[in-house]
């Protein structure tokens, strides 16, 4: 089932809470809850775009089932430690006590709690314990981001063993697609018309309907290309232009050079993103920005760039930092401008004030990209827009242009399916202490990395023309108002692109610089000698013979004493010979 709740229900604005609890349900949440209540299913899969409010929906079901005595306990399974705390905080706000610190070694938790929050990894380490807990009391199990149950065989097997006896199971995900063909526990698969099994959700609420309902922000993607130059391990110097057709190896290395904190590309993009943040904060004073970095080393380096640009420090969250959850919580409640985090933080960071992002990682899986962009789409009031800066890389451009695509988990196909390399997600979510290595020639030394504004992507369309950083053309897009409805965004983008194209057409053509006489003659002689060389390869005639024939045909002195006009005449003559010969 996939529906836009706006077609017949109010989205319940502004009665909502950013972290997942609200006195009134949004339209899609109420619709999904009513469907759940009518069916009273043992298993239910709800697919809702990041930022739509899956937590609120799930906790409403928990409250209802507990109040009616259908369940006596709840177990919430999450992919990360930080998400355990977020769920416990959200549940506490509606009067449900959840223990986020439960350890397998405890065996049981305090009677003060209605349930526990655990990770998929925790379940896989002792599934028998959690099965016993599930059997002891009628339990509702909530699987947050259920696709993680397919990350590894031990995780899937552990989840199946631990929660097979559960009274109720509620699976949630914003991104239900994976590239592997391992079935996810407690998810229903049905064959399509071609005999291919696809996952089936009980309720689906995608980004497109959520955008139409005003539940999520529209996302403006600002793509940056640029000139890259690097030295390989073999000592060769290579240059490439990001944003132009490149081989797979060239693209990987140019992308790596762009993200290198020693180059100017990332510094220029961070500077542009900060200017965009300043514009957004004119109407959203607490708006914040997030850089998703590849590893710890680059995260710290990016933070230094941000301090140099803004004069303010950035909050740095690293995957192995025991204070990570605390830092995220503090940043969420503050008015600080910038947060820098390793890429694993893309799933699990719930900071509604994030409005500007920099995608500074080499991970390009659809699953990871969707999760990363999901950090910026959570709306708090109508008109807020999200701006995500990213390298002009074909894979990312494609993903940005397909924001509204809804995918299912497909079992019956060969591996790997190009573009759905989500097996990399497990690596993306791990702690990253060292930079990635891409390609046989890496590591390499970045010699030069310069950014250029490429274009803007929005709602499947492309806007803008290539421009230098700091140019009026770039500023046209960095200065977009911070509060715009989706249709206003498209209208304004179209107008600004039209204005730029009109200005380019009206701009006078630059005049060729006037050459000094000696420069002109030197250039003409060089051109003539090149043509003589080509004619030599074509006919086998010696260079001297060719020059002599040209002199006889055109007249005039030897080449050393010929005027510019005489040399040009000989150039025209040899081109005429070439044309006549090609017709024979």
pLDDT tens-digit map of 261-283: 999 999 999 999 999 999 999 99
8 A C-beta contact, residue 43 and residue 111: no
8 A C-beta contact, residue 115 and residue 73: yes
Q: Per-residue confidence at 480, pLDDT binned at 50, 70, 90?
A: confident
Q: Is the pLDDT of residue 520 over 60?
A: yes
| Portion of the chain with pLDDT greater than 90, in percent | 39
Q: How far is it, in rounded angstroms, from Cα 118 to Cα 270?
A: 36
pLDDT for position 4: 36
Q: Per-residue confidence at 55, pLDDT binned at 50, 70, 90?
A: very high
CA distances in angstroms from 421 to 115, 181, 424, 428, listed in the order given: 35, 12, 6, 12
| Portion of the chain with pLDDT greater than 70, in percent | 82
Q: Is the pLDDT of residue 152 over 70?
A: no
Residues 6+ away with beta carbon under 8 Å from 24 = 12, 15, 16
Cis status, amide bond into 165, omega within 30 of 0: no
Q: How far is it, in rounded angstroms, from Cα 149 to Cα 438?
A: 28
Q: Is the pLDDT of residue 235 over 50?
A: yes
Q: Checking DSSP bridges between strand 338-342 and strand 315-317, what pairing results, if any? A: parallel
Q: How far is it, in rounded angstroms, from Cα 37 to Cα 527?
A: 82
Q: Is the pLDDT of residue 321 over 90?
A: no
8 A C-beta contact, residue 55 and residue 22: no
pTM listed for this prediction: 0.70
Structural domains of the chain ordered from first start:
27-205 (3.40.50.10810), 216-225+241-414+453-506 (3.40.50.300), 517-577 (no CATH)
Q: Is the pLDDT of residue 219 over 60?
A: yes
pLDDT for position 443: 64
pLDDT for position 511: 62
pLDDT for position 10: 36
Structure tokens that stand for 380 in this block = 């708090």
Find, among 93, 106, 113, the residue nearest to 132 by Cα. Answer: 106
pLDDT for position 434: 39
Q: Is the pLDDT of residue 287 over 60?
A: yes
pLDDT for position 506: 67
Average pLDDT, the chain: 82
**171 CA to centre of own chain:** 25
Q: Per-residue confidence at 150, pLDDT binned at 50, 70, 90?
A: low
Q: Is the pLDDT of residue 419 over 60?
A: no
Q: Is the pLDDT of residue 477 over 80?
A: yes
Angle between helices 54-67 and 27-39 (to 10 degrees): 40
Residue 173 bridge partners (DSSP):
47
Q: Per-residue confidence at 512, pLDDT binned at 50, 70, 90?
A: low
DSSP 72: S
Q: Is the pLDDT of residue 421 over 50?
A: no
DSSP 459: T
pLDDT for position 113: 96
8 A C-beta contact, residue 270 and residue 302: yes
pLDDT for position 148: 79
Express each pLDDT in 97-129 by its tens digit: 999 999 999 988 999 999 999 999 999 999 999
pLDDT for position 504: 67
pLDDT for position 39: 95
H-helix or E-strand containing 25? none
Q: How far is it, in rounded angstroms, from Cα 254 to Cα 152?
A: 32
8 A C-beta contact, residue 230 and residue 63: no
H-helix or E-strand containing 98? strand 98-99
pLDDT for position 177: 57
8 A C-beta contact, residue 31 and residue 68: no
245 or 505: whose pLDDT is higher? 245
Give the least confident one: 45-54, 55-64, 250-259, 425-434.
425-434
Q: How far is it, in rounded angstroms, from Cα 326 to Cα 328?
A: 5
């Amino acid at each position: 089932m996939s529906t836009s709740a706006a077609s017949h229900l109010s989205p319940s604005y502004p009665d909502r809470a950013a972290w997942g609890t609200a006195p009134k349900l949004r339209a899609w949440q109420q619709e999904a809850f009513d469907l759940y209540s009518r069916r009273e299913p043992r298993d239910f899969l709800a697919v809702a775009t990041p930022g739509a409010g899956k937590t609120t929906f799930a906790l409403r079901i928990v409250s209802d089932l507990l109040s009616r005595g259908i369940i006596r306990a709840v177990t919430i399974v999450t992919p990360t430690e930080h998400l355990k705390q977020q769920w416990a905080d959200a549940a506490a706000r509606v009067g449900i006590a959840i223990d986020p610190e439960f350890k397998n070694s405890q065996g049981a938790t305090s009677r003060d709690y209605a349930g526990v929050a655990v990770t998929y990894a925790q379940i896989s380490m002792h599934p028998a314990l959690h099965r016993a807990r599930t059997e002891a009391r009628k339990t509702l199990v909530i699987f947050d981001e259920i696709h993680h149950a397919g990350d590894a065989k031990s995780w899937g097997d552990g989840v199946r063993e631990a929660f097979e006896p559960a009274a109720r199971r509620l699976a949630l995900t914003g991104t239900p697609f994976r590239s592997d063909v391992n079935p996810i526990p407690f998810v229903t698969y049905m064959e399509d018309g071609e005999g291919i099994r696809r996952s089936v959700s009980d309720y689906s609420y995608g980004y497109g309907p959520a955008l139409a309902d005003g539940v999520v922000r529209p996302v403006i993607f600002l793509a940056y290309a640029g000139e890259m130059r690097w030295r390989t391990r073999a000592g060769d110097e290579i240059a490439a232009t990001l944003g132009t057709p490149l081989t797979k190896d060239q693209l990987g290395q140019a992308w790596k050079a762009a993200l290198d904190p020693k180059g100017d590309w990332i510094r220029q993009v961070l500077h542009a993103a900060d200017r965009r943040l300043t514009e957004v904060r004119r109407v959203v004073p607490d708006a914040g920005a997030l850089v998703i970095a590849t590893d710890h080393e680059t995260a710290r380096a990016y933070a230094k760039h941000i301090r140099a640009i803004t004069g303010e420090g950035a909050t740095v969250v690293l995957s192995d930092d025991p204070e990570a959850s605390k830092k995220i919580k503090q940043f969420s409640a503050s008015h600080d401008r910038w947060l820098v985090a390793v890429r694993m933080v893309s799933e699990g960071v719930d900071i509604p004030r994030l409005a500007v992002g920099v995608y500074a990682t080499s991970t390009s899986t659809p699953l990871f990209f969707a999760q990363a962009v999901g950090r910026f789409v959570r709306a708090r009031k109508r008109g807020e827009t999200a701006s995500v800066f990213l390298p002009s890389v074909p894979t990312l451009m494609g993903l940005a242009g397909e924001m509204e695509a809804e995918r299912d988990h497909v079992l019956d196909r060969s591996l790997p399916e190009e573009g759905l390399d989500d097996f990399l997600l497990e690596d993306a979510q791990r702690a990253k202490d060292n930079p990635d290595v891409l390609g046989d020639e890496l590591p390499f030394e970045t010699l030069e990395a310069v950014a250029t504004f490429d274009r803007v992507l929005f709602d499947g369309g492309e806007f803008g023309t290539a421009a230098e950083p700091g140019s009026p053309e770039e500023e046209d897009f960095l200065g977009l108002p911070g509060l715009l409805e989706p249709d206003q965004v498209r209208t304004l983008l179209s107008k600004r692109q039209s204005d730029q194209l009109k200005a380019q057409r009206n701009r006078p053509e630059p005049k060729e610089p006037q050459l000094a006489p000696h420069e002109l003659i030197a250039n003409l002689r060089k051109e003539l000698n090149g043509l003589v060389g080509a004619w030599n390869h074509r006919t086998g005639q010696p260079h001297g013979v060719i020059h002599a024939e040209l002199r006889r045909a055109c007249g005039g002195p030897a080449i050393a004493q010929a005027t510019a006009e005489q040399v040009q005449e000989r150039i025209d003559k040899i081109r005429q010979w070439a044309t006549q010969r090609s017709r024979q």
